[in-house]
Every structure is written in C-alpha cells, then in structure tokens.
C-alpha cells in the first residue's frame, strides 16, 4: 500500500509498504478514505518529536472503512464507516477510567508517532472499540475528519478548560486552524465577546467570518492595550493560547482578568516566564491539556444537528498521490491561506 | 399616583395611591416606565397566594428611572435608568451570601406580594444596590423588561438546573411564556435537540420559530411515545417542567433518560406522584427553584451582545390606564395568542 | 462446586453445581474466598426482583483469587487476589464512557441476578479488566468485601449525590448497613453534623459509635420536630434516604432545608408522594442512583491509608456450608444485631 | 489608644493614636481583644508592600467587641463579639457578587494596608455587615483569631483551589503557619496521603503531629526523587505552594502528576519559570488566589463542631504592650519555633 513515511528531520517519502495486520485481539484494520495533515506532523518533520522514529508512517486523523477486526472487537465489523480518534484509549487503565485518554498507559497519542499512522491506504487501530466512532448515516465525511483531532482539541483544551460561559469574554491568541477550531466551538457556550488576536490579516478576516466579535492585529505590539480597551480595563474571562511560543503565552498573562483562566493549547518547545509577582493574588487559573477526545460523541451529535459546520476549516483538497503538494500548501499557509487540507486516500 | 391594586380574589382596581417614600436607608424610589404582567399575578387574583393581602399594588417586573435614593445607596443616583429584579436581595444574609437571593431572609419575592409592586407610576425598591441593575446605554427597554423575571427564571430554574449541555437532548413541557424563555436561553448551550411539548398548536408553532427542533402536541395522549421515538428510545437528558400540574411533571418522569435531569419551573398547587419504584435506579436528578436572579448581569451582557432577542416574547402593548385590557388579553392567551405584554406607565 | 441457589419465592438451597467456564474472551473465573449477603438478596428471595429467575446462584459481593482468564483479559492473571465489583462494566458502551457503569448496556447489576453470582466456590466475572480490582498487598480481605457494594453504594448514592460538604449538616434516615455505610463515608467530607434517624435503639447506638453527632428515634412520630430543633429551624443540607419506603422518603422532604439535597439510596417498591406544592420554590435537589462503583479505586486508597475501617460493619462470620444460618442471622437483624456477615467460601 | 504603627522600611513604633470614628454608615468600630501577626506584616516592614504607606497601623486579623456601628449596619450592635475578616467586602460590586471578595472594588485586603489595622486597641471596619462574623457562644476566641486569615487562606487558596479529594495524594511545600493551615484543612477531604516538604526538621515534626503522612526534608536537594518514590512514580494529585519563591514553585512543577493541580498560596516577589515544554501535554492546572474569606461561615461551623483545633497553630502569647517582643519571636521562627502568636489587646 502507499504510505507517507518519515525518514528523519526534513525527510519524507511516499513509499510502498505492506498492509498492516491485526496484532492484538482488540485491533482493527481501517481502510483510509480521507485523512489530513496536522501542525504536529510538521513538528515531527522538523525533528522536534523524538518519540517518532524514522520509518514511521505519519498521520493521526482520518475517516475510513473497517477492513478487518480482531476477535475481541465487539462494536465494529467489516464494512462499517468509522471516524478515527487521534488518541488511542485502552479503556481500562487508571487514566482511561478517569476519562483522561490522552494519558492512557498503553495508548494516548501513538498513531503516526509511536506506531504507524493514517497517511496511508490502511492503518492498524489499537483498542478499536474505544478509539473509533461509528459514522452516522448521512454524514459528510470531510466534515468528520475535523473531529479526529482539531475540533476536540480546540474544544477540550481551549473551550472546556477555559470555562467559556454564556455572556463571558474570551480572547483567542492565534487564528491558525486550532485557534479557529476553538473559536467555532467556543460559540457552543454563547460568550458575549470573542476577541481574536493574530499577526495575519487574512486569518483575522476568516476569524470574523467564523464569529469573532473583534479582531486584534498584534503586529503593532499593542495587543494588550487593545484588549484592555475592548474589555473596559477588566481583561478577559478566558484567554486561549493557540500558538505555543513564550510571547503569546505571556500575552495571555497580561490580558487575563481577575478570576479568569488561561487555557493553553499550544505545543511549547521551550519554557515560558510566569509573572507570579503580578499574578499571585489575581485568582487566575492556568490549564494545559493534551486532547482526550472525550468530547467526540458530543461533537458527532452537534455536527449532526448542524449547530456547527466543521467544513469551514477545509481550504484545500489533494489525492494521496499528491500528498507532497498537500504538505507544501499546508506548510506555506501564510501564502496559500491554507487551514485544513483533505487528502483522499 | 395610579396603581393596580389587588382587592381580594377576582377583584382589582386601578386606584389613586400616595407616591411611596424612602423607608430604609438602602431603599430607592423608582419611577416606572415599563412593566408587565406575570402568570403569578393571575394566581394572586385567583386567591392562590395567601402571602399577598388585599390592598396590595401588584407587579414585580419592570424598568424605570431612579427618582430618589436612601442615604446608604451607593450604586445609583437620581435619573439613572434601572432594571428592577423580581427578587429583592439584602446581600448580607446567609442565603444571599450563597447567591440564593430567592431565600433572602428579609427579601426574596416580596414585590407585588408582601410589599407594593411595579404596576404603578412609582415603586419603592428595598436593598436597591443589590436589587436593581443599571441599564446599559443604547439598550432597548422593552427587551429588558423580560430580564426582571421571565428570562432569569427560564434560564436558572430550567436551563442551569437542568444542566443543558452542548450536544444534549432537551424536552420542555409547556410552551407558554416561561417555557419559551427556557427555550431561548437553552440555546446558550447548543443542545443538539430541543423538543417542545404543548397542547396549543399556535404555541408549538411559535416554539419552532424560536429554535425548537421538534414540536410534540400532547393532545393525543401519546407524548411519551413521541419523545421516545425522537430519542431512539433513550429518553431526554433534560426535561424542563414549565406548567405546574401533576400530569406534566409525571410526563417528565416518563421521558427523562438514565442519568438525566428533571428541572421544575412550574408553580405547583398540589402534590405529585413520584414513581420511585421505577426511578430509584435510574440515576436521575430532580430540581426545584425559585429564581435567584443571579444570572441577571450575565443576561444583560448577552442581550447587549445580541446573542438573544428577548423582544420575541412580547406580543401586546398597553398603557397603564388600559391595564384591565392588558390583564384581559394576557388572561385569554389561547384566544389572543398573548405571550408577554408591555405596559407603559 | 457448592453454591447457594435461588429456587423461587422463599426457596433456596445449597446445591452442587458445575464450576463455571470462560464464555467470552473478556471473562475471568474467580475462586471465591469471602462473600456476604446483601439486603437485595432478601428482596430476591421474597420474589420482588423479576429479573432474577429460579435456578440462579445468588450473591454479587466478594473477594477471591483468579482461577483462569479469557484471552482478552490483560490486567489479571491466575493467582491474583481480586475484589469483585457488584457492577459489571464493559468499559465501552455509551454509559460506561460516561462512568455510569450501573447502566452498562450489557452489564450493570447482573451478578447474582441475571447471571450466576458469588455465593459459591467459583464465579464467572464478565468484563474482568473493568469489573475486578487488584487487592493491594497487606490488605485485610474481610474489610475489602465491604467495597464490593455497600461502601460505594453509601458513598456514591448517598454522600456524593448528596453533596456532603465540610461544615454541612446531614441527616441519614435509616441506620441499617447501608445507612451506616453512608455515615462512615460522609465523614470523608467533614460535615459539622450528622443526624442519624431510625426506630431501633441498638442501631442508633451503633451510629453514635460510628461518628453520628445526633441520634433521633423516630418511633414517637416526632422526627421532623427533632431535626428542626437540632438545625435551628433551617432543616438539613443533605437528607440521605436509606430505607426505601414512602414514609422515610417523605420524612426527607420535610427535613431538607432550602437549597438542600435529598439523596435516595433506598430500593423502592412503590411510588411516593412528592409535595411540590411546598417544595417548588425551595431550591432543592432530589437524586436517585444505582451504584456505579466508580469510586472503588478511591475507596481502596482510602482503606489502605486507614482513614476508614470498613470492618466496623461486620458483625457475624459463617462458613459457606452454614450459609443458611448466615441468611437466618442477617434476616433477623433486629434480634441478632447483624449488620454485614462474612461468609468464608 | 495604643497602636503598632509602620514608619517605613524596618521601622515601627507602639504609638498613642486617636480612637477611630465611624466614617461611613456601613462602618463599625471594634474594640480589639485579641490579634496576631501575619507573614505579610513582616513583608510590609521590609518595605515590600508599596500600597502600605508610613503612618499606617498594621494588622488585619483579630477578634473583638463591637463598640459602635454606623446607621446602615443591621447585623451587629454594641457589645456583640465579632471575628474580623482580613478581607473587607462591600457585598455589592461585580466581584463581591461573584463571591470574589478579595477583589472587591472598594475593599479587599485594605486593613493594615490601605487603612488602619487591628494591632491596636480599636479598629474601624468598613462594610461591617459583610466583613465581620458573630462569634458563637462558647467559642474559644484564641482559636477564632486563626479564622481571620490563616485558615481561610490555607483552605481556599490551597485546599479548595487544589481540589483535594478523598483518597487523593497531596504535597504541601512549606511547613510554616500557612502550609500547616493547609495541612489542617486538607484533612476535611480525607486525602489518602499528605506529604509535607520543608527544610526545617522541627516544622516537619510539627507537620507529622498535625496529620502529615510523610515528611520530606528538601535540604538534600532530592525532594523530587523522594516524592516520586512515595507516589510510585506518578507524582501528586495536588501540590500546594506555601512559600513564595521560584525554587518551591518549580518543585511543584516537578512533582505534580498528570491531571494534577498546583495551588499557589505563596506571596511571590519575583517571576518564576514555567516549564511548558514539559507540562503542555500533562493536563495540569495551576491556580493563584488572594483569599476571599468566603469559607469563613463554614470554618466557624467546623470549629464549633470540633472537627479541627485551630489552637494547634498558636505557640506564643504576648500583651499588646509587648508587641515588639511578639514581632521578635515571630520573625525568628526558626529559633523560637513560633507559628502563630496571640496578642492580647
């Protein structure tokens, strides 16, 4: 089968690889119909993710059709259309039983990282019963690819952890795909204001069309003043960090109001400064989270009821044969205006 | 001043009464600009509310302008435009300090009940600093009259107590003004389904236009089957009782699914049957609540941000001089299709 | 093997039965070392539990040693000492994934009810990985038998659902084993007052020795007055119903204070009257629950740390050969002062 | 009257000052009977608290007797014995109405900081109705002095924010008075393990006698290894920072387990390093808080019920005339083994 293989920093190839086999009774083999590229795949290709060894098939998102199941799989059978979660959950360990699937002792984020992933014609999914979701009849499969990772990540790490509430004021720092996913899902809670902060005018424009009530271009170095002005000097109830660098995290520290929350989504490669000398008495909360994908059933419901249209995030489409072009378009997002890219396998 | 006075069961008059005076340092006198009639006012007129004695000026909703404040009032001054909460809160007692203003030991629902109310040219508001809210510039005052009672009641007693969540399934039994207020505010949480149940086709039609995803006319006695069919046999996550009679509460007992919640809003005059022999092992929650109006600041925010249009609830308008006609229209709602009626004072 | 078999209303026998086999890859066979009798077993014997057919081996509590596991069991191996949960949880269905194991679509309370139970030398446990718990080294096995059902039931249905809090006031109606389990576990939250209500002076005495701060004998029909006096007229924050008849549930309705919670544990065979005409505006919560045993890992921790001594609940011990005597002692609790009885298999 | 006056960095005197007057209708004048010294008073004397100007009477803790009340005070009258909260709360502003009294727009921590404090014979208390608490009959007044600040601070900032739960594992970094207050109040929730970390063997000994299950002396630089060993490599559920320097906060970052919480109590004078490159995917929560004293009524209840003995924290007693000796003993705690010191006024 065809598969996109990581070969070490800055090296990848579209290779021919053997079709995967059932390795444990709880496995399923899924024939991929659609997958996509995540910012994390770019991190791997930069060599930033040591757990991912050369030779690995990349990708942790996608939808497909069950090809085969192990003898202990009871929820799925050959031919079922399924959504693949980016997180594999055994359903039994101490973390899974607290619904913290991200820290499953034998799962978590392993797809396209510690085991072969979804940018291929077939993929082996461990713990299939608790890591795949049936696709409801009549669903748009492209939309559902957004439920593998980006929507639950924006929702769980940003919106849920950020305690977004009806009538509250939210700032989202970073209007890339993940910040926009937080923007879309924040609206489940009817906040009164959603302020989007980014350097890219195009992405801010997209954010407005997705429901942001204000857009702040931080290029002038005055984002803090702008947010304070917009909030009558009080700061925001929720600041969502969706970039992953010290400057944006520290911006969140400056704009969060007393009693507010900073919800970190960004993947950070370096330490940040926490100004406890200013924040110790401000009654704030800071959260970090690797997505648990516990919200996937809810998101499936809400997509089905048309409260949200995940396809808004899709800007480009490619065939698996052209996945290098897809990576190119995704990697040059400032130029191509790419958000999420669908790859048909 | 003119005032609508309760004279005992089925008797009321539009009388001339002295303008109220400051009685305690925390009082304010408010000149009423707009008020409305509540279902509870009809209960009083039927003689169902023994705490309300003949001679009482009715009404516990409205907006107006501060005429005078007592010496301990610090948040308001003459000329300020204010929203009157139906609940008076001292801000100091054990219940107020738990944000359970409804049970304030010297306040609670006293306006138009134990003290003179708002269906008059002026009203005395005790504990003004914690019972009035400033009206934001540019607000539509008619819309804000809906924030005195009906919207916080639908929201707190129905939606908050009912734990409505993104993607969840809600049934609202009763599509009168209060059920419709629950319907409007339930949408703050993006439930996937909101099933409205009533006997009146017109009100069900209104409910659909307000965002209900399904409407069930219970006239055929098959509401339970209909709801079970709509929910794939699981029952609803939240059942909101917005009528106040045994039949509608018991309907909620039949349609609530395992792990679900029955949130009672209705004012009940008689006991109901609780089928614990069926429900003891169903992991359900039942809540009751007199509105605390703790959500008023949030609702003001959310109205300002145009996430909701409370004016949808307003069907008729009268002058204070014609308040008898207003009562007539409100009392004959099946015929007049009245929901909420604005009275200009 | 020897097993206590239900033969229809009022009939049971200690019979010889074949040792159970692995029936599904997720099964384990456990050799029982200790089991006990539950009030529910008496209900079955009265013929009150139609889901339990004649021929069924009774019992849903116990500890033992793994005899054999199916091929998909990964958490346990032969020789492991295990605690058996009264609830079988598949870990995969919609309810299990909400941690509502009691409503597992293929599990729940099935042991000694829909499948053969633990009052035998061996038992087959479905979904072993998510329905058994490893016994920590050095544990007292007798104490752990109390964790199969009675302690999680008292804790989850009574204490957690009842929202017992530091400094709060709790009443527990019924000082039988389950009420006493609620009493022991309520103390995890340091309530200021725990009022125990029962008709039996001996059980009230036991309750005092277990930490109740007041004991009310309701034989005089004045329990409501007594509780109101003890609470300065305010009523209790939490009323735990641990009997299962209308009179005790309605007592809870009378003693719960504004903003309080009635947490039902009792197994009710008949409907009760809910006085909504008095309670609709009292801001109360009523909960029902079949135990989910989600608290079992926490209870194992807390027993290990000696914050609680479950053996306080054990009053009698019998061999499996004498299980008829054990049933006799348990069934005549008023006379024998039996609480929980250990049966050595 | 006699009063301890701050005269600028390192300077204080016991001066004669005029007895305070009622300045607003909501004020009360309290005759102090007992007060104490807080670590914050030492910070002020070091010149670290710019909001506190020379000439200020220090102290924000104490109990006393009402001497006089303003005309709008309704909850207290002359002669009432009262507990003084370190936080003054107007009860009306946006923060007070969220129960975030620490950020009251005209109150908060002002006593002995922005207005004259309690280390004097009399003190003026603003917003008396919402900033004083009646002392229950039969209470030990010395014990109640611990409820002005240290117990609510340990409880709210450490235990509540840290989400201490039955069966959980807690580490408290810093065994000074505030860390010990967290230790005492953490036990309201029956955690299975409480690990105390400090450099001072005496304080660790005290911690053991107060209920710590393990004591780690961090002098050897191996505190992280010790905690990991004690927790089977998982880290703690709750890490409470009770010192206020970068080293101790960063220790908390290293010992908190996945899904855990770092609850900061310490007053930090400088920024700290937050290792997001390690923590971004650990699902942790970090909280900061200035005490709100919303738990004071609960703490009064729990002290009354003898679930806790706050007098354990009291090591020394002085007269107001000898307050310099009291400061000396408190400032040299390593030598004097002082925890909290009662000053009789």
Q: If you average pLDDT over every residue of chain D, what do you get?
A: 97
Using a CB–CB cutoff of 8 Å, tell me whether D75 touches chain B: yes
Nearest to C189 among D188, D305, D308 (CB): D188
Interchain contact A259–C (C-beta under 8 A): no
- The pLDDT, as a whole number, for residue D191 is 98
Residues of D in contact with C168 (CB under 8 A): 298, 301
Q: Rounded CA gap, A228 and A175, in Å?
A: 19
Which two structure tokens, joined as six digits, stand for D98? 């969220």
Chains that touch B (3 or more CB pairs under 8 A): A, C, D
Which chain C residues are within 8 Å of B95, Cβ to Cβ?
258-259
Distance, CA of D51 to CA of D65 (rounded, Å): 28
Q: What is the mean pLDDT of residues A277-297?
A: 98
Interface membership of A41 toward C (CB under 8 Å): no
- Please check whether residue B51 touches C, CB under 8 A: no
D neighbour chains, 3+ CB pairs within 8 Å: A, B, C
Residue in chain D closest to B132 (alpha carbons) equals D92
Q: Rounded mean pLDDT of chain A?
A: 97
**What's the rounded Cα separation, in Å, for the pair D130 and D88?**
7
For D28-79, what is each residue's pLDDT tens digit?
Answer: 999 999 999 999 999 999 998 999 999 999 999 999 999 999 999 999 999 9
Would you call D283 and A272 a contact, using CB atoms and an 8 Å cutoff?
A: no
> Mind telling me how many Å the CA of A193 is from chain D's nearest CA?
18
* pLDDT one-digit tens code per residue, D132-155: 999 998 899 999 999 999 999 999
Q: Which helix (H) or strand (E) segment is B317 a member of? A: strand B314-319
CA distance C120 to chain D (A): 32
DSSP per-residue codes, B198-259: ES-HHHHHHHHHTT-SEEEEGGGS-HHHHHHHHTTTS-EEEEEE-S-SHHHHHHHHHHEEEE
Which chain A positions have a beta carbon within 8 Å of C75's beta carbon?
92
Query: Is A297–C92 a contact, with Cβ atoms under 8 angstroms apart?
Result: no
C281, C287, C292: best to mutate for the B interface, most B CBs within 10 A: C281
CA distance B81 to B34: 11
Higher pLDDT, B96 or A138: B96
Indicate yes or no: CB of D273 within 8 angstroms of CB of A275: no
Interface with D, mutate which of C192, C236, C308 (most D CBs under 10 A): C192
Nearest-CB residue to A72 (from C26, C94, C297): C26
Q: Give the B window 306-335 contacts with A, CB below 8 Å.
A: 307-308
**D41 at the A interface (CB within 8 A)?**
no
* Closest residue in B to A160 (Cα–Cα): B166
Asked if the C-beta of D99 comes within 8 angstroms of chain B's C-beta atoms, the answer is yes
CB contact under 8 A, B301 and A187: no
C213 touches chain D (CB under 8 A): yes
Structure-block tokens of residue D189: 């929730």
Residue B271's contacts (CB-CB under 8 Å, 6 or more residues apart) are B246, C273, C274, C275, C276, C277
Residue B49, token pair as written in the block? 């509310």
Split at pLDDT 50, 70, 90, the class of A107 is very high
A190 touches chain B (CB under 8 A): yes
Contacts of A286 in chain D (CB under 8 A): 274, 285-287
| pLDDT tens column, A246-268 | 999 999 999 999 999 999 999 99
For residue B64, the Cα-to-chain-centroid distance in whole angstroms is 19
Question: Which pLDDT score, from 0 to 100, does residue D120 have?
Answer: 98
D122: confidence class by pLDDT, cuts 50, 70, 90: very high
pLDDT band for position A97 (50/70/90)? very high
Per the CB < 8 A criterion, the answer to whether D73 and D27 are in contact is yes
Set of chain D residues whose Cβ sits within 8 Å of the Cβ of C302: 166-167, 190, 192
**Residue A136 forms contact with C (CB below 8 Å):** no
Query: CB-side exposure of A31: number of CA atoms within 13 Å?
Result: 10
Q: Does D91 touch chain B (CB under 8 A)?
A: yes
Sheet strands side by side (includes B193-198) = B214-217, B193-198, B169-173, B236-241, B256-264, B285-287, C285-287, C256-264, C236-241, C169-173, C193-198, C214-217
Q: Which residues of D touch A275 (CB under 8 A)?
A: 271
Residues of chain A positioned with their CB less than 8 A from the CB of D100: 258-259, 283
Does D167 touch chain A if contact means CB atoms closer than 8 Å? Answer: no
Q: What residues in C contact D298, CB-CB < 8 Å?
A: 165-168
Spell out where B72-141 has E strands: 81-84, 122-125, 132-134
Hey, is the C-beta of D232 within 8 angstroms of any chain A C-beta?
Answer: no
For the segment B158-177, the average pLDDT, to the nearest whole number, is 98
Are the Cβ atoms of B130 and D92 closer than 8 angstroms? yes
* CB within 8 Å: A92 and C25: no
Interface test with A, best of C91, C136, C298 (most A CBs within 10 A): C91
CB contact under 8 A, D97 and B25: no
For the record, the structure tokens of A102 come out as 């991200």
* Model confidence pLDDT, tens digit, residues A110-164: 999 999 999 999 999 999 999 999 999 889 999 999 999 999 999 999 999 999 9
Rounded-to-integer distance, Cα D212 and Cα D198, Å: 12
Interface contact C137, partner D, CB < 8 A: no
pLDDT attached to residue A248: 98
Tell which of A136, A186, A191, A305 to mutate to test the B interface (max B CBs under 10 Å): A305
Mutate to test the interface with A, among B160, B190, B238 (most CBs of A within 10 A): B190
Q: How far is D262 from chain A (nearest CA, A)?
A: 10
C27 inside 8 A of chain B by CB? no
pLDDT in tens, chain C (345 residues): 999 999 999 999 999 999 999 999 999 999 999 999 999 999 999 998 999 999 999 999 999 999 999 999 999 999 999 999 999 999 999 999 999 999 999 999 999 999 999 999 999 999 999 999 999 988 999 999 999 999 999 999 999 999 999 999 999 999 999 999 999 999 999 999 999 999 999 999 999 999 999 999 999 999 999 999 999 999 999 999 999 999 999 999 999 999 999 999 999 999 999 999 999 999 999 999 999 999 999 999 999 999 999 999 999 999 999 999 999 999 999 999 999 999 999
Q: Are D41 and D113 in contact (CB under 8 A)?
A: no
Tell me which residue of D92, D110, D115 sits closest to D23, measured CA to CA. Answer: D115
Residues of A in contact with B190 (CB under 8 A): 187-190, 302, 307-308
Could you tell me if D281 lies within 8 Å of chain A, comparing CB atoms? yes
Q: Is A167 touching C (CB cutoff 8 A)?
A: no
Please, are residues B179 and B242 in contact by the beta-carbon 8 Å criterion?
yes
* Distance separating alpha carbons of residues C206 and C186, to the nearest angstrom: 16
Nearest CA-CA distance, residue A61 and chain D, Å: 18
- Give pLDDT, residue B83: 98
Q: How far apart are CA A201 and CA C31, in angstroms?
A: 69
The verdict on B281 touching C (C-beta cutoff 8 Å) is: yes
Interface membership of C29 toward B (CB under 8 Å): no
- Mean pLDDT of the A333-337 span: 94
């Amino acid at each position: 089968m065809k598969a996109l293989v990581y070969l070490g920093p800055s090296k990848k190839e579209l290779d021919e690889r053997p079709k995967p086999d059932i390795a444990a009774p709880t496995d399923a083999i899924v024939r991929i119909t659609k997958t996509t590229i995540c910012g994390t795949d770019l991190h791997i290709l930069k060599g930033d993710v040591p757990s991912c060894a050369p030779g690995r098939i990349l990708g942790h998102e996608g939808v497909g059709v069950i090809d085969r199941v192990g003898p202990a799989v009871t929820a799925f059978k050959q031919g079922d259309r399924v959504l693949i979660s980016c997180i594999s959950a055994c359903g039994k360990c101490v973390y899974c039983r607290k619904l913290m699937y991200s820290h499953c002792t034998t799962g978590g984020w392993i797809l396209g990282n510690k085991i072969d992933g979804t940018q291929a014609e077939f993929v082996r999914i461990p713990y299939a019963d608790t890591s795949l979701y049936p696709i409801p009849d009549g669903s748009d499969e492209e939309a559902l690819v957004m439920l593998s990772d980006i929507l639950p990540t924006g929702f769980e790490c940003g919106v849920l952890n950020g305690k977004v509430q009806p009538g509250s004021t939210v700032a989202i720092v970073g209007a890339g795909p993940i910040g926009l996913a937080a923007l879309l899902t924040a609206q489940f809670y009817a906040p009164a204001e959603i302020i989007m902060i980014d350097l890219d005018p195009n992405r801010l424009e997209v954010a407005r069309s997705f429901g942001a009530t204000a857009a702040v271009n931080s290029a002038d170095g005055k984002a803090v003043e702008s947010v304070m002005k917009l909030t009558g000097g009080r700061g925001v109830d929720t600041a969502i960090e969706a970039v992953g660098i010290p400057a944006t995290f520290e911006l969140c520290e400056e704009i969060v109001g007393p009693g507010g929350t900073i919800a970190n989504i960004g993947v950070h490669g370096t330490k940040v400064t926490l100004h406890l000398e200013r924040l110790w008495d401000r009654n704030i909360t800071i959260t970090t989270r690797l997505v648990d994908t516990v919200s996937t059933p809810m998101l499936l419901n809400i997509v089905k009821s048309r409260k949200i249209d995940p396809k808004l995030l899709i800007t480009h489409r490619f065939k698996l044969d052209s996945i290098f072009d897809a990576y190119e378009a995704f990697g040059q997002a400032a130029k191509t205006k790419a958000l999420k890219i669908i790859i048909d396998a």
